[in-house]
Structure 1
Amino acid sequence: MRQSMTGFASRSGETAGLRWGWELRGVNGKGLELRLRLPDWIEGLEPLVRAAAQKALARGNVQISLRVQGGNEDGAAELDEAVLTRILSAMARIEGAAAGQGLVLSPSSAAQIVALRGVLSSNATPADVAPLRAELMAAFAEALTEFGEMRRHEGAALAEILTAQLNEVEALIAQASEAVEARREEQAERLRGQIARVLEQAQGVDESRVAQELALIAVKSDVTEEIDRLTAHVGAARELLAAEGAVGRRLDFLMQEFNREANTLCSKSGSAALTQIGLTLKTVIDQMREQVQNVE
């Protein structure tokens, strides 16, 4: 089943006097990029989260965040005097260095300093984080499952849209084939007229040479190969949509091939009807490419 790279999931709970909440957000990306925002005091949590996410996901820009707060109602937290002292000392050195360079820094507010990591610490932080880590990972596994289900739901919707667009492309290819057949006699008549005019107006012209040149023009305006390749691309796209695993990159490459053939079709069309079909085809292909960007 196809998966989108877009998704969201969350889980929250309370344990050991702490309130916690997981949040996962995903958007499209070229590969798998994980952005983790986790409390650094829960030792060993990050590698477990990263390994679980890498096992479950193949592509996407995914942000995973965990917030842990004191479970008491007033959210009481203690000021870490050692951390505060180090931060204020560092700020003083920075301001001194800036002044030495003739720079004036804007003053920092108490609220900004308090918001810095480590300045406030929860008085409910457990000494042994192993039980908390185990419970958090169990909840994360549930959130990751929910995240995957949402991505599959979005992927199913994407597959339906892309299938409808492929049907439209297929119909346009059929119209192009009909337009080529309708154009064939018109082109032949035009070529016969061109040969006759050249032979009438020029003396000593090598008729075989003229015929070769006109035949070359006819070959250059033939779009049979482009139509055949477009038909093959439709089949390949349908196979990728039905395949297992991440196929987004291959679909994106295929969209480039679709677009190349449509461009060539337009440049070689030789008729207003076929040009219009080619332009419509390019529009549908562009719409497909936008959707493909979200396929895992």
Structure 2
Amino acid sequence: MVTVCRVHSMTAFARTEHAYSWGTLQVEIRSVNQRYLEPHFRLPDTLRDQEPVLREALRQRLARGKVECSVRFEPAEASQAPAVNTQRLDEIAAALNAIQERLPNAAVPTTLELLNQPGVIETQHLDQEAVKTAAHVLFDQAINSLIEARAREGEKLAEMIITRLAAVSEQVATVRGLLPQILERQCAQLLERLDVAKTELDPQRLEAELVLVAQKADVDEELDRLTAHVEEVSRQLKQKGPKGRRLDFLMQELNREANTLSSKSVVAETTRCAVELKVLIEQMREQIQNIE
């Protein structure tokens, strides 16, 4: 039984959202398989200058995948609404009272005229640093959720690969068990052909022909390499960190040996085993394409 360290898929989705007094922030991250890390960002103007920081944070946590990061910011209405500077308004009112005492007939300004006085109306400015800090916190939370989702999907992929590895080993064992019968059958067929042809070979020639038959039917090296590659795949599944590229390379090597086994097959049994091996390897390869 293979003990698997967490295998991470490259396909996942995560979202974090929080409402603050000054507005609402939402972070979404989607990732799919890609040979290298390929991040794409969609940020509001308020956070546009934070892309290099967020990109580096992503690079520190992920190794591969096409990753789409979207940050949405909706300011609260209160943060955009104008406010009356009551202190400034009191100062103007005191000045108007003084004028009225000296000039009783002076025109009284309207409310709109008072509001248009400098300093009476103030626009509440958004705390940009607070928005940036909150965005970083939510982005980190979204990355954590994404990694957990990739890990859950990766565990399913690892289980599938382990099952297929066991099936590959069974096919290798089947072919090994057939080798003595295959060699015996090939030798018998050679002797039958000689008998039908009424041809007699000298002992040395006959021995050479038998050796040639044995060499053509001998797939011990291919079976040994298949076993070694299966063991290496199992070992890689137990390693920490990204392992997708290495596993993909091992699938190519497994497929190479399966093809060689098929080309050297001299009986239907080994041909069927070789075909089954290639099917199993292809099933693993398709899933490994999605492993980080």
TM-score (norm 1): 0.76
> Is 1:35–1:63's contact at 8 Å kept on the other side of the alignment?
yes
Of 13, 17, 20, 2:18 maps to 13
Specify the alignment match of 1:281 in structure 2.
277
* 1:243 and 2:248 matched: no
Specify the alignment match of 1:57 in structure 2.
62
* 1:3 and 2:2 matched: no
The size of the alignment, in residue pairs, is 245
Amino acid at match of 1:219: Q
CA displacement at 1:136 relative to structure 2: 0.7
CA displacement at 1:42 relative to structure 2: 2.1
Q: Deviations over 1:21-72 (max 9, x none)?
A: 1001111110111111112332531111111100000111111111112333
Q: 5+ unaligned residues in a row in structure 1: which ranges?
A: 77-123
> Is 1:16–1:126's contact at 8 Å kept on the other side of the alignment?
no
> Is 1:5–1:60's contact at 8 Å kept on the other side of the alignment?
yes
CA displacement at 1:216 relative to structure 2: 2.9
- Equivalent residue runs for 1:160-239 within 5 Å: 160-195=159-194, 200-201=198-199, 208=204, 211-239=207-235
Q: Deviations over 1:223-248 (max 9, x none)?
A: 11111111111100000001111110
Q: 5+ unaligned residues in a row in structure 2: which ranges?
A: 1-5, 82-122
- Give identity over the alignment, percent: 39
Specify the alignment match of 2:149 in structure 1.
150
Residue aligned with 2:46, SS: coil
The structure with the larger Rg is: 2
TM-score (norm 2): 0.77
Q: Deviations over 1:182-237 (max 9, x none)?
A: 21211121233345566x448xx776456435533431331111111111111000
- In 1, the alpha carbon distance for the partners of 2:236 and 2:168 equals 16
- In 1, the alpha carbon distance for the partners of 2:179 and 2:208 equals 22
Amino acid at match of 1:182: Q
Q: Deviations over 1:96-117 (max 9, x none)?
A: xxxxxxxxxxxxxxxxxxxxxx
Q: Structure 1 residues 125, 291: CA separation in 2 closer, same or farther (over 3 Å shift)? A: farther
Amino acid at match of 1:169: V
- In 2, the alpha carbon distance for the partners of 1:222 and 1:126 equals 81
Q: Which moved more, 1:164-173 or 1:63-72?
A: 63-72
- In 2, the alpha carbon distance for the partners of 1:221 and 1:72 equals 81
> Is 1:16–1:132's contact at 8 Å kept on the other side of the alignment?
no
Residue aligned with 1:42, SS: helix
Q: Structure 1 residues 226, 277: CA separation in 2 closer, same or farther (over 3 Å shift)? A: same
Residue aligned with 1:13, SS: strand
Specify the alignment match of 1:269 in structure 2.
265
Q: Structure 1 residues 206, 64: CA separation in 2 closer, same or farther (over 3 Å shift)? A: same
Specify the alignment match of 2:3 in structure 1.
none
- In 1, the alpha carbon distance for the partners of 2:77 and 2:150 equals 36
Q: Which moved more, 1:184-193 or 1:1-10?
A: 184-193
Of 37, 59, 71, 1:32 maps to 37
Q: Structure 1 residues 186, 43: CA separation in 2 closer, same or farther (over 3 Å shift)? A: closer
CA displacement at 1:269 relative to structure 2: 1.1
Specify the alignment match of 1:139 in structure 2.
138
Q: Which moved more, 1:147-156 or 1:63-72?
A: 63-72
- In 2, the alpha carbon distance for the partners of 1:185 and 1:207 equals 18
Specify the alignment match of 2:250 in structure 1.
254
Specify the alignment match of 2:88 in structure 1.
none
Amino acid at match of 2:251: M
* 1:44 and 2:49 matched: yes
> Is 2:183–2:214's contact at 8 Å kept on the other side of the alignment?
no
